[in-house]
């Protein structure tokens, strides 16, 4: 068993929440649903699409939910444009490589989104494993996505760290026994501490992130 670093995608390794927000607005408006930023920030970020559809489209037949959410994801991909990795991410990945620590992306995003984002960032071959929550029996906030990543990497939860920007994702990581770094890209620190996040940072340039990761993974010793 080994130390691992496990990264959420949107809002964690790349700031794309503004694109998702616009795609949700455009997709839900024809169904009479208005989404403002605070609603998006508090109730959508990090959630799996079936749960989002159930919450926002109860007046729409359930058998149409999947197609509507697929159209939202297509709208997101069309709007994506040029993106950059979160500040400090590449340095952290280089540090992990020097210490032979395997890395994974663990996300509730559809595979098409995840692959497009990673390719656009030039990171499509950098991660050892890509875990897509909706392809499993349970997505985040269930711990299964993170447990799956650990199993695929031969990782030990006690010496591994997850990076998350949402209460849903953090709940998943904490339940899997991981140390969790909360990225304060779109949600309040209180929302993350409430579900067990141990350390907060604006981005990966914060020295506290590497200090925590070094201690948790045992590289500090």
Q: Would residue 8 show up in a list of annotated catalytic residues for this protein?
A: yes
Active-site position among 8, 17, 165, 206 = 8
Residue 123, both tokens:
């990171």
d(CA 18, CA 70): 18
Strand partners, 132: 107
CA distance 69 to 48: 10
| Cβ atoms of residues 106 and 69 within 8 Å | no
Q: Is 10 a catalytic residue?
A: yes
CA nearest to 43, candidates 191, 208, 200, 204: 191
Distance CA 115, CA 109 (A): 10
**Lateral strand order in the sheet of 199-201:** 129-132, 103-107, 5-7, 161-164, 179-183, 199-201
Quote the tokens at residue 133: 């929550």
State the CB neighbour count (10 A cutoff) for residue 61: 7
**CA-based nearest residue to 5, from 135, 134, 92, 116:** 92
Q: Catalytic residue positions?
A: 8, 10
């Amino acid at each position: 068993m080994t130390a691992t670093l496990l990264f959420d995608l949107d809002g964690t390794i790349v700031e794309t929440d503004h694109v998702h927000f616009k795609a949700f607005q455009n997709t839900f408006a024809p169904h009479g649903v208005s989404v403002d930023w605070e609603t998006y920030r508090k109730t959508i970020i990090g959630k799996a699409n079936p749960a989002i559809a159930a919450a926002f489209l109860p007046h729409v037949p359930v058998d149409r939910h999947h197609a509507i959410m697929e159209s939202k994801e297509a709208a997101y991909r069309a709007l994506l444009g040029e993106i950059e990795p979160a500040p400090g991410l590449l340095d952290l990945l280089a540090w992990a490589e020097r210490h032979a620590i395997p890395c994974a992306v663990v996300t509730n995003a559809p595979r098409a989104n995840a692959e497009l984002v990673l390719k656009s960032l030039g990171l499509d071959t950098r991660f050892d494993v890509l875990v897509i929550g909706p392809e499993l029996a349970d997505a985040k906030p269930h711990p299964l996505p993170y447990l799956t990543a650990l199993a695929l990497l031969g990782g030990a939860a006690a010496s591994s760290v997850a990076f998350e920007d949402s209460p849903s994702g953090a709940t998943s990581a904490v339940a899997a026994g991981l140390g969790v770094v909360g990225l304060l890209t779109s949600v309040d620190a209180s929302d993350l501490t409430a579900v067990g996040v141990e350390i907060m940072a604006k981005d990966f340039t914060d020295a506290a992130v590497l200090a925590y990761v070094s201690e948790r993974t045992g590289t500090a010793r």
